[in-house]
Chain A
Amino acid sequence: MNQPALSTSRQRQLPPDWVPGEFPLRNAWLPVSNSRHVGSRPTWRTLHSRPVFLWRQQGKLTATEFHPAKLSDKRQAASEFTAGSGYYPVLERYGLVWVWYGNPDDAHESLVPNVPYIPAEGGLPAYMSGHLHLNSCAELAMENLLDLTHSDFVHANLIGDEISEQDEITVDTTSETITMVRTCRGKTAAPIMQKAGGIKAKTQDLRSTIHIYVRSHVALVYSRFIPGFDVPLLHCSTPESRNSCRVNFIMNTGAAKAPFRYVMPQAGYMVGAQDNSMLRPQAPRYHEQIERRDLNSRFDAATTQYRHLVQQLTARQQQGDFAYGSDANISGDKTALLRIGMPI
């Protein structure tokens, strides 16, 4: 029985398009866990389908390829990611545990992304952080962050509609980062700010700056609402596999009013579920047999540039170049770039 097919009309010969999540970018610190989830009993995470065991040995943070009980038996099977030792380079910063994914010889503290609004030593209250599992690769999750127009449809109940008097977006890139600044005037006030933050105004001015460290899949999202509060969010989409990523997020709402201060970080769980409802069915379609490229509107400038950046990094790494570009400035202070404390 022959079922109908549209296939013939679709076939077109094009150079291969980017398939998100296909190439694991190397030589980057990846935040794998919230610090407080790692104790003396080993826990485990996955990085690009490789197991990472985490525990504290007499207080010393340790990350290995194998469970500590099996470490001596299995050490011969250790990979290049631990230079055959079984031990990954690991450190703690901003209340997160970061594992180096790449050549251990290249692991330097200076390559840990800077997060200016979270204390380097961590210690923020537990209610400000959370973790999610998304059914898409890290790249699609990052695109979702850079993509503003979906909020109107996917997150409208929290963030409000996208109606504003004035809405400006700028996008800047370096060889390792992408920065998007959005400035809105007279934007419909976010329902969650009205309900939990005591904001009476119908409209707000908003400046939202998103700065992404592409290799680490780490995003700084700093939003300032007037009237309202600053919402400083650290959003990490750590690649677990080609089909999944783990989101560790920290929202430093310490300066905001209660109950908004407590409610807003927890809204991350709802936002995550809403995004996943689109990411889950979207993700497998980047593996279609017949290639058809995504169509873009002018609102997709940021995601298109992000894709371009990932493709460039991928191309460089495929040729064996894992060095950070001179314009990278990964650990430099990003306070000014995020315009923290500056008027809208």
Chain B
Amino acid sequence: MPTSQHSDWWAIALSEEVSGDKPLGLRCGDDEIVLFRGDDGQVRALENRCPHRRVPLSLGKIKPGGRIQCGYHGWTYDGDSGACVVIPNLRPNESISPRYRTEVWQVCELHGFVYVTPSNTSDEAALATPTTAPLSPVYSPGSREFYGRVTLGVGVDHFIAALMDGPQLLLAASGVKLTGDVVADPYLDNGKLVTRRAAVWRGQPGFDAFHHQYPLILTLAITPGSGEVSAEIHTPEDELVAACQLAPIGAARGTTSVCWRSWTAANPRGMRPGLVAMAAKAGIAPLQVRRQVDWEKLGGLLIGPSRHWPVANSETIRLLSVS
């Protein structure tokens, strides 16, 4: 399994979304990418633009041998090298210049996500052997898994900041009410920025005159760079109630496209964690990204722990590590 401390990899799709039948066109920041699965089961990623007349390759067809054929004039590209390998109607003795190629992205599939990183197409050696691989997410689904993709009308940086400051506005949990209360300042753990929030069981009292502590904790661990987020709800005894892995990617027009996967513990202890697991068996996702966001509330959300995020690059990490 590929592991690395530094992540230049971006989880841009769910494994289930990438099929061998139809290519998938996606936006990743300013770049447009087409993903497809070859007949060997491997996912390929190319720039979603045919260098012939610029049509998105995602309108084309997947061909045997890890190739993709453009839907306009049928130029066909090798998914591994990006080289144009077929121009229809050429005579057998006519060759295609090696200059005829499209940009390639390296791909890695891990834990139900498809990761990409740019390739330097001029460096053939780098193409053949991935040098770095995704930072492995905290991932141990012990039960039925849920997944989905949500596109929200907020930029990716704001999405992550809002997740730190008001996770209850963006996440929905089964049987659990997330609160806006901070439990701990962000800290660094294994290169991830971790923040903790309070949560309560639905229908149960929380922190009030009669209850001196919250019954649940939501932990968010953010990977600086890629912005991947692991969200977990635990009891104070560290019993996992629900987990969700989020991969937010900046999409077109300032939106954010979030792929997520969610699960519960395999054998939860306690009645209420057990109920969440049972609900999951019945088809209710334990922790997921909300499709409907209260934008009014999000707009009024006060700044909290996210103060540490906008510069959560190597510099912040250095500062946080020494503090």
Contact = CB atoms under 8 A, between A and B. Distances in A.
Interface stretch (A25-33, A120-128, A146-154): A146-154
Contacts of A2: 225, 313
B71 A4 contact: no
A4 B59 contact: no
Contact of A294 (B52, B90, B227, B313): B52
A154 B72 CA distance: 6
Interface string A134-147: 00000000000001
B28 interface: yes
Nearest to A297: B87
A3 B31 contact: yes
Contacts of B75: 297
Contact of B250 (A3, A9, A162, A292): A3
Interface in B62-105: 70-75, 84, 87-90, 94, 99-100, 103
Nearest to A143: B53
A176 B253 CA distance: 41
Contacts of B148: none
Contacts of B214: none
B10 A294 contact: no
Interface in B1-49: 8, 10, 28-31, 47, 49
Contacts of A297: 52, 75, 87, 90
Contact of B118 (A5, A154, A286): A5
Contact of A292 (B10, B51, B72): B51
B56 interface: yes
A25 B116 CA distance: 44
B249 A3 contact: yes
A4 B88 contact: no
A144 to B, nearest CB: 9
A137 to B, nearest CB: 14
Given A149-B88, A281-B56, A297-B87, A6 B47 contact: yes
Contacts of B52: 294-297
Interface in A149-168: 149-150, 152-154, 162, 167
A1 interface: yes
Contact of B29 (A5, A9, A162, A298): A5
A162 B313 CA distance: 55
A296 B73 CA distance: 11
B72 A4 contact: no
Contact of A3 (B30, B56, B74): B30
A60 interface: no
A154 B53 contact: no
A1 B49 contact: no
B59 A277 contact: yes
B55 interface: yes
B157 A278 contact: no
Contact of A6 (B71, B94, B118): B118
B73 A4 contact: no
Contact of A149 (B73, B99, B313): B73
B161 to A, nearest CB: 10
B55 A1 contact: no
A5 B88 contact: no
B164 interface: no
A316 to B, nearest CB: 26
B117 interface: yes
A3 B54 contact: no
Contact of A147 (B70, B73, B99): B73
A9 B103 contact: yes
A278 B47 contact: no
B321 interface: no
B250 A153 contact: no
Contacts of A149: 73-74, 88-89
Interface in B93-143: 94, 99-100, 103, 116-118, 120-122
A298 B87 CA distance: 10
A227 to B, nearest CB: 24
Contacts of B121: 9
A188 to B, nearest CB: 13
B156 interface: yes
A149 B89 CA distance: 9
Contacts of A3: 10, 28-31, 156, 249-250
B243 interface: no
Interface string A225-249: 0000000000000000000000000
Contacts of A154: 71-72
Nearest to B224: A1
Of A152, A296, A297, chain B has the most CB atoms within 10 Å of the CB of: A297
Interface of B: 8, 10, 28-31, 47, 49, 51-56, 59, 70-75, 84, 87-90, 94, 99-100, 103, 116-118, 120-122, 156-157, 160, 225-227, 249-250, 313
20 contacts: A2-B313, A4-B8, A4-B28, A4-B117, A6-B47, A6-B103, A9-B118, A9-B121, A9-B122, A152-B88, A153-B70, A153-B73, A154-B72, A277-B59, A278-B59, A292-B51, A294-B51, A296-B52, A297-B90, A299-B73
Given A1-B226, A278-B72, A282-B54, 11 more contacts: A2-B313, A4-B29, A4-B31, A9-B122, A277-B59, A278-B55, A278-B59, A281-B56, A286-B54, A294-B52, A299-B73
